């Protein structure tokens, strides 16, 4: 598949070695082997660029901008190889440092330009900056870089990325999340887009619909970049709880910063209390489940979206385990017709998104379903589905038609390729193909 790409790094030795290992481990599954060989190096081969200051710029694929979320997710599957590969380590360090720089520029922005060139998706009614491609505030945009840095530290033992700039960014993020606990009273954030679908803009004078204080922190948009219906997005608040736990560890073990650890712990407890008190719903069929969104006034949005963080991804995020009863109840709900974005068709069944056409299932959600499952039969069924729904391209896509997989959105979507690769590599390590 020919694509217009940016200049990229050559494949590190560890990646080449893994692809050679796959030749043996996946030999009995020739199409899966080819898909893995296409998808695993895709981020490195088509979206990654070392800049002159040794920071790293990672585009999403078919959009020439860097999302804080996507860039983190696009390289996470390389973490298991990083400890023994200095070249990969420099990739992680370079990306995290660039992400930290961007958050300093504007912590409310979700996507950035390589240079201060005023490129952007639209001339939105918000505080514009020449570095910012889009300024849709999403909690997960601030979670992903911290998570990536923490996992990199635990994988490699390297602590040099936790410098003064990183520490200042952590405080900036915690300050913002505290501000957004009282969005209506304290937030400076406003956003509107003109002549667009309702999902691309905020109602209520650019502030979003009213919310009550819960302890949770407000989000304008979902990880799909669609506007939240209710401002407390439960999966993203769960992600914040996990990341604040990471911040406690980093502050205590590396910075010896008792105040930072205390602030993180207090904020984590407040958000978690809000999730457990306001973010659950007793469903007549499934029992107690997590809502996707709430406003703190007793209204709940019962759904799930393919984009991560999602309710399906709760164990993957690290908020709780697969065995947690509320999660299991929630999982049964989101993988049923009671979830308005769950679809079943001739070729597949799974979760899609209001971000794509009705009836389109996302490979990201299928991979996440397998990675949060303990059922070998379910995993095998999903693996077969992914192999059969690539549209004969050898790559993953954003979404595909449940009845005709040759109809798909975004032929070049690196996040989906990376999560698929993470799933397959995990199965390889677990001996699934032996």
Three-state SS at 166:
helix
Segment (H or E) for 282: strand 280-283
Q: What are phi and psi of 342, to 5 degrees?
A: -100, 130
Walk along the chain (434 residues) and give the pLDDT tens digit of each residue.
Answer: 344 455 557 899 999 999 999 999 999 999 999 999 999 999 999 999 999 999 999 999 889 999 999 999 999 999 999 999 999 999 999 999 999 999 999 999 999 999 999 999 999 999 999 999 999 999 999 999 999 999 999 999 999 999 999 999 999 999 999 999 999 999 999 999 999 999 999 999 999 999 999 999 999 999 999 999 999 999 999 999 999 999 999 999 999 999 999 999 999 999 999 999 999 999 999 999 999 999 999 999 999 999 999 999 999 999 999 999 999 999 999 999 999 999 999 999 999 999 999 999 999 999 999 999 999 999 999 999 999 999 999 999 999 999 999 999 999 999 999 999 999 999 999 999 98
Q: Would you list the domain boundaries of the chain? A: 341-434
pLDDT of residue 3: 46
Three-state SS at 116:
coil
pLDDT of residue 4: 47
CA distances from 31 to 233, 264, 386, 395 (A): 38, 46, 11, 11
pTM: predicted TM-score of the whole model, two decimal places: 0.97
Structure tokens at 292: 């996707």
* 415 neighbors 67 (Cβ within 8 angstroms): no
């Amino acid at each position: 598949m020919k694509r217009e790409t940016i200049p990229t790094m050559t494949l590190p030795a560890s990646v080449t070695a893994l692809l050679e290992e796959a030749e043996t481990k996946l030999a009995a599954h020739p199409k899966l082997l080819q898909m893995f060989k296409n998808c695993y190096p895709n981020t490195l081969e088509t979206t990654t660029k070392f800049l002159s200051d040794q920071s790293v710029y990672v585009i999403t694929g078919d959009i020439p901008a860097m999302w804080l979320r996507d860039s983190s997710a696009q390289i996470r599957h390389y973490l298991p190889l990083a400890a023994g590969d200095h070249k990969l380590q420099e990739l992680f360090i370079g990306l995290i440092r660039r992400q930290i720089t961007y958050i300093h520029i504007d912590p409310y922005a979700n996507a950035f330009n390589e240079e201060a060139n005023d490129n952007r998706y639209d001339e939105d009614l918000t505080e514009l900056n020449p570095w910012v491609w889009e300024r849709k505030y999403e909690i997960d945009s601030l979670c992903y870089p911290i998570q990536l840095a923490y996992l990199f530290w635990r994988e490699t033992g390297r602590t040099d990325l936790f410098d003064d700039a990183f520490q200042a960014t952590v405080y900036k993020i915690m300050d913002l999340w505290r501000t957004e606990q009282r969005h209506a009273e304290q937030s400076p954030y406003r956003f509107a887009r003109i002549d667009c679908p309702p999902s691309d803009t905020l109602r209520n004078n650019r502030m979003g619909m009213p919310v009550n204080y819960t302890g949770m922190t407000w989000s304008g948009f979902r990880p799909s970049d669609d506007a939240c219906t209710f401002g407390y997005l439960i999966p993203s608040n769960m992600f914040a709880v996990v990341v604040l736990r990471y911040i406690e560890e980093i502050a205590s073990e590396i910075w010896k910063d008792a105040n930072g650890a205390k602030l993180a712990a207090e904020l984590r407890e407040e958000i978690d209390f809000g999730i457990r008190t306001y973010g659950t719903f007793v469903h007549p069929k499934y029992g107690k489940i997590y809502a996707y969104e709430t406003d703190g006034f007793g209204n709940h949005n019962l759904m799930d979206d393919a984009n991560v963080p999602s309710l399906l991804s709760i164990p993957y995020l690290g908020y709780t385990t697969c065995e947690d009863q509320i999660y299991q109840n929630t999982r049964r709900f989101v993988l049923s017709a009671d979830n308005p974005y769950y679809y079943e068709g001739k070729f597949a069944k799974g979760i899609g998104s209001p971000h794509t056409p009705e009836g389109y299932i996302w490979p990201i959600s299928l991979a996440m379903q397998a990675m949060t499952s303990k059922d070998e039969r379910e995993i095998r069924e999903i693996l077969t589905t992914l192999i059969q729904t690539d549209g004969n391209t050898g790559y993953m896509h954003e979404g595909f038609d449940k009845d005709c997989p040759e109809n798909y959105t975004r032929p070049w979507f690196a996040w989906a390729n990376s999560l698929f690769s993470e799933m397959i590599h995990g199965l390889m390590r677990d001996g699934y193909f032996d």
